[in-house]
């Protein structure tokens, strides 16, 4: 009979929401969308950072582009907009309920000097488009026209869902069962030997 697969584990899931604002009003909203964490995103930002290894990276900037979703092996955002200064926006990270980190940013209306058609977004570790850096995650959304007098605000979430509590409960159950089993063996052994202490306990 085939063994049942253990589905417990730790997973990383991400979501983003992009809004276009004009004169203090929301004129465009992507709604919540899933993102794509790249292979090097898992390696450099999660695995190596947890281990404190050389080459590990942390998220510090967001970027917008005109292209599609990054492939799993991507290192850059497809069609990233780079023809103006400060096109990469510094993110403000906060933690939510210990298992979620949020990266928020705002692209001011004064950054782009010409209208753009934006279609994707991503998180990265470097401010300079010349230096490039390595993309952590990103995705595409319905094409949006961005005028020069409009700003972009974003909440970008990456959620780490840990199934550790369930594993602890299973370990606890296993330990209790082991203790019960060993106690029963000890009781049978003492009964055979005729321990005075056990006899007194048994009345």
Domain co-membership, 153 together with 179: no
What pLDDT is recorded for position 193? 47
Three-state SS for the chain is CCCCCCCCCEEEEEEEEEEEEECCEEEEECCCEECEECHHHHHHHHHHHHHCCCCCCCCCEEEEECCCCCCCCCCCCCCECCCCCCCCEECEEEEECCCEEEEEEEECCCCCCCCEEEEEEEEECCCCCCCCCCCCEEEEEEEEEECCCCEEEEEEEEEEEECHHHHHHHHHHHHHHHHHHHHHHHHHHHHHHCCHHHHHHCC
Domain co-membership, 179 together with 135: no
Asked whether residue 1 is domain-assigned, the answer is: no
What pLDDT is recorded for position 170? 55
Buried b (16+ CB within 10 A) or exposed e, 44-70: bbbebeeeeeeebbebbbbbbbbbebb
Domain co-membership, 156 together with 173: no
Could you tell me the pTM of the whole model? Answer: 0.71
Most confident of 1-10, 87-96, 170-179, 192-201: 87-96
Q: List the domain range (segments joined by +) for residue 75.
A: 12-162
What pLDDT is recorded for position 66? 94
Asked whether residue 46 is domain-assigned, the answer is: yes
Whole-number average pLDDT of the chain: 80
Say if CB 41 and CB 77 are below 8 A apart: no
Question: Could you give the percent of the chain with pLDDT greater than 70?
Answer: 75
Asked whether residue 6 is domain-assigned, the answer is: no
Domain count, the chain: 2
Domain co-membership, 91 together with 144: yes
Q: Is 113 a residue whose pLDDT tops 60?
A: yes
Q: Is 137 a residue whose pLDDT tops 80?
A: yes
What pLDDT is recorded for position 192? 47
Total residues belonging to the chain:
203
Domain co-membership, 111 together with 39: yes
Domain co-membership, 28 together with 113: yes
Domain co-membership, 107 together with 135: yes
- The tens digit of pLDDT for each residue in 14-47 reads 889 999 999 889 989 999 999 899 999 999 999 9
What pLDDT is recorded for position 6? 52
Domain co-membership, 55 together with 77: yes
Buried b (16+ CB within 10 A) or exposed e, 83-94: eeeebbbebeee
Q: Is 127 a residue whose pLDDT tops 80?
A: yes
What pLDDT is recorded for position 158? 57
Burial of 183 (0-12, 13-18, 19+ CB in 10 A): exposed
Calculate mean pLDDT across residues 104-110: 91
- 24: region left, alpha or beta (phi > 0 left; psi from -120 to 50 alpha): left
- 134: region left, alpha or beta (phi > 0 left; psi from -120 to 50 alpha): beta
Domain co-membership, 47 together with 132: yes
| Both tokens assigned to 183 | 């106690």
More confidently predicted of 87 and 203: 87
């Amino acid at each position: 009979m085939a063994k049942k697969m253990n589905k417990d584990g730790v997973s990383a899931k991400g979501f983003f929401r992009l809004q276009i604002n004009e004169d203090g009003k929301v004129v465009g909203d992507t709604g919540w969308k899933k993102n794509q964490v790249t292979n090097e995103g898992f390696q450099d930002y999660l695995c190596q950072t947890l281990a404190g290894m050389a080459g590990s990276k942390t998220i510090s900037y967001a970027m917008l582009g005109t292209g599609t979703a990054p492939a799993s092996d991507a290192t850059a955002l497809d069609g990233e907009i780079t023809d103006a200064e400060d096109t990469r926006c510094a993110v403000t990270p906060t933690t939510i309920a210990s298992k979620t980190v949020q990266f928020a940013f705002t692209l001011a209306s004064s950054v782009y000097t010409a209208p753009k058609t934006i279609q994707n977004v991503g998180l990265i570790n470097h401010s300079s488009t010349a230096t490039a850096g390595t993309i952590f995650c990103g995705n595409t959304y319905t094409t949006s026209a961005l005028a020069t007098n409009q700003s972009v605000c974003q909440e970008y979430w990456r959620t780490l869902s840990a199934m550790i509590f369930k594993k602890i409960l299973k370990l606890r159950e296993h330990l209790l069962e082991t203790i019960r089993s060993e106690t029963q063996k000890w009781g049978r052994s003492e009964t055979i030997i005729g321990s005075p202490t056990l006899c007194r306990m048994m009345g």
